[in-house]
């Protein structure tokens, strides 16, 4: 079973601490790729009770790249997934810290919400939420180590941990409410924050906003989200996430949203299913970005690992023609992952196969009605099976139709495992590549003749 990267978790947290907290606390945690379109966590709000609160660090150090605590209550959200200037985060390599929010006076808190956004492990939120009215005996505001909070007068409200998968990025939202009444009466709220991972120095969460709702106050309006230069979306099962960066091509954003997005959402998982191999997991995140023609070396597009770079001017010209198909071709390269799997390879796959598979998928499966890979009669005399791109794609289509419907999957597995050599053809078809080529050319000729009749 595959885990979904979109998740909603509901935790009913029974409070064990003798405090003002009687009854139960509900913690809802969600993750989405963009636009904070959570199902149960409210969207980030402006002019909520937390906006005017005072924020203080009781333990830990702010990262010098972070804009600081103001990010948490400036009623502004980041425009993309890596914006230190719009987030609060503890210093790199440290084990998180402790953050206090002073509401100025004790109020009945209806709801607490926190929001974060990052591409990788800095998206998740891991913290314990404590509260205090202010008159608790021995209440301490100078927590310098992970103290026993109960002894310092704090009551535990909730434990939050949005790490459903270790590597899931995106926008994470957390809502903490009382199960059937306000959360409790508090002047102070305290977050004891842990890093999400310690494999590297970058495990401290990018917190974008904290919202607090007063049970006796007015409802707060959602924050207007900045227009992102990245279009983020995912497949309906949440398994694959995509981002299209249109910084270099703002005029293409609408086209990307309307025309390209459905192609990517539908065809990336299809290509993954077409090109399986034992133990292989296709990239779960794919980024597409536009780049000026002058930096493209004459290429309409190219793929490097899970990043697809698109030639802005070429795409502008080809919107109604080749643009979508070119992206299908590049997505096939992302799934092939031949260079990523080269570690144990015995052979290097020839370029005509590397390019022939994406063009077969593009011209014969994605847009067969275009007939873009048909070989005209005048080109037949010089056509060879290893001519690459659409000519090789045509050869692969012949083999698939004539001999083996699973041929592409077999060829891909051999190539991905670094085991391709010219014996592949004999082993698979009992015939050499030149023999198969003669049959293919004869078949092309037959089809041209039949079309004439």
User: Residue numbers of the site for Zn ion (CB under 5 A)?
Assistant: 355
Nearer to Zn ion, 287 or 355 (CB): 355
Nearer to Zn ion, 193 or 303 (CB): 303
CB of 358 to Zn ion, least distance (A): 5
The SS3 of residue 157 is: strand
CA dist., res. 390 & res. 48, Å (int):
58
Q: What angle do CA 164, 169, 175 make, to 5 degrees?
A: 60
Cα 417 from chain centre:
26
Whose tokens are 């987030």? That residue is: 87
List all residues 6 or more positions away from 294 whose beta carbon is below 8 Å from its beta carbon: none
Residue with the shortest CB distance to Zn ion: 355
DSSP for 163-209, written as a single string: -SSTT--EEEEEEEEESSS--EEEEEEEEEE--S--SSS--S--EEE
Nearer to Zn ion, 280 or 352 (CB): 352
CB of 333 to Zn ion, least distance (A): 6
Nearer to Zn ion, 253 or 333 (CB): 333
Question: Which among 90, 93, 238 is positioned nearest to 165, based on CA atoms?
Answer: 238
Interaxial angle between packed helices 433-452 and 389-402, expressed in degrees from 0 to 180 and rounded to the nearest 10:
90
Nearer to Zn ion, 203 or 393 (CB): 393
Nearer to Zn ion, 28 or 271 (CB): 271
CB of 231 to Zn ion, least distance (A): 23
CB of 355 to Zn ion, least distance (A): 5
Question: Which among 259, 290, 247, 230 is positioned nearest to 34, based on CA atoms?
Answer: 230
Nearer to Zn ion, 214 or 355 (CB): 355
In the numeric block, which tokens belong to residue 188?
């102070």
CB of 45 to Zn ion, least distance (A): 46
CB of 126 to Zn ion, least distance (A): 41
Rg (CA), the chain: 28
CB of 310 to Zn ion, least distance (A): 13
CB of 258 to Zn ion, least distance (A): 25
List all residues 6 or more positions away from 450 whose beta carbon is below 8 Å from its beta carbon: none
Q: How far apart are the first and last CA of the chain?
A: 53
Other CB atoms within 10 Å distance of the CB of residue 437: 18
CB of 329 to Zn ion, least distance (A): 6
Whose tokens are 């009913």? That residue is: 12
Nearer to Zn ion, 303 or 441 (CB): 303
CB of 407 to Zn ion, least distance (A): 19
CB of 354 to Zn ion, least distance (A): 7
Nearer to Zn ion, 184 or 356 (CB): 356
Interaxial angle between packed helices 389-402 and 407-416, expressed in degrees from 0 to 180 and rounded to the nearest 10:
120
CA dist., res. 133 & res. 42, Å (int):
25
The SS3 of residue 393 is: helix
Nearer to Zn ion, 100 or 355 (CB): 355
Nearer to Zn ion, 209 or 355 (CB): 355
Answer yes or no: are the C-beta atoms of 25 and 181 closer than 8 Å: no
Whose tokens are 């200037």? That residue is: 85
Question: Which among 123, 119, 117, 209 is positioned nearest to 163, based on CA atoms?
Answer: 123
The SS3 of residue 129 is: strand
Torsion angle of C-alpha atoms 310, 316, 249, 340, degrees rounded to 10? -10
């Amino acid at each position: 079973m595959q885990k979904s990267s979109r998740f909603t978790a509901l935790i009913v947290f029974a409070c064990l601490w003798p405090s003002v907290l009687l009854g139960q606390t509900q913690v809802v945690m969600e993750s989405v790729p963009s636009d904070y379109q959570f199902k149960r966590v409210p969207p980030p709000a402006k002019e909520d009770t937390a906006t005017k609160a005072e924020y203080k660090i009781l333990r830990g150090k702010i990262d010098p790249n972070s804009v600081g605590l103001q990010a948490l209550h400036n009623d502004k959200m980041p425009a993309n997934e890596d914006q230190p200037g719009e987030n609060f985060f503890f210093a790199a390599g440290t084990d998180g810290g402790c953050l206090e929010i002073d509401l100025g006076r004790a109020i009945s808190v209806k709801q607490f919400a926190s929001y974060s956004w990052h591409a990788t492990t800095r998206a998740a939120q891991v913290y314990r939420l404590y509260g205090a009215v202010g008159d608790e005996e021995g209440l301490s505001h100078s927590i310098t180590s992970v103290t026993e909070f109960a002894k310092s007068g704090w009551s535990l409200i909730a434990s939050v941990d949005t790490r459903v998968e270790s590597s899931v990025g995106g926008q994470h939202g957390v809502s903490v409410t009382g199960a059937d009444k306000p959360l409790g009466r508090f002047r102070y709220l305290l977050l004891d924050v842990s890093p999400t991972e310690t494999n590297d120095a970058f495990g401290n969460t990018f917190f974008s906003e904290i919202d607090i709702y007063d049970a006796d106050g007015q409802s707060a309006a959602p924050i207007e989200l900045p227009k992102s230069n990245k279009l983020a979306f995912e497949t309906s099962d949440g398994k694959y996430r995509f981002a299209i960066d249109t910084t270099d091509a703002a005029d293409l954003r609408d086209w990307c949203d309307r025309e390209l997005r459905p192609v990517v959402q539908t065809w990336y998982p299809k290509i993954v299913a077409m090109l399986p191999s034992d133990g292989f997991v296709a990239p779960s995140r794919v980024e597409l970005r536009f780049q000026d023609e002058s930096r493209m070396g004459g290429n309409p597009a190219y793929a490097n690992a899970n990043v697809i770079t698109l030639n802005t001017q070429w795409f502008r010209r080809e919107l109604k023609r080749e643009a979508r198909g070119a992206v299908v071709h590049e997505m096939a390269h992302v799934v092939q992952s031949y260079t990523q799997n080269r570690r144990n390879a015995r052979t290097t796959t020839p370029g005509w196969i590397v390019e022939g598979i994406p063009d077969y998928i593009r011209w014969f499966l994605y847009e067969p009605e275009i007939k873009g890979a048909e070989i005209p009669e005048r080109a037949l005399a010089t056509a060879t099976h290893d001519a690459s791109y659409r000519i090789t794609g045509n050869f692969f289509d012949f083999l698939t139709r004539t001999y083996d419907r699973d041929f592409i999957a077999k060829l891909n597995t051999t190539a991905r495992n670094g085991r391709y050599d010219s014996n592949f053809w004999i082993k698979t078809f009992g015939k050499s590549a030149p023999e198969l080529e003669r049959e293919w050319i004869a078949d092309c000729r037959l089809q041209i003749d039949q079309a004439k009749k």
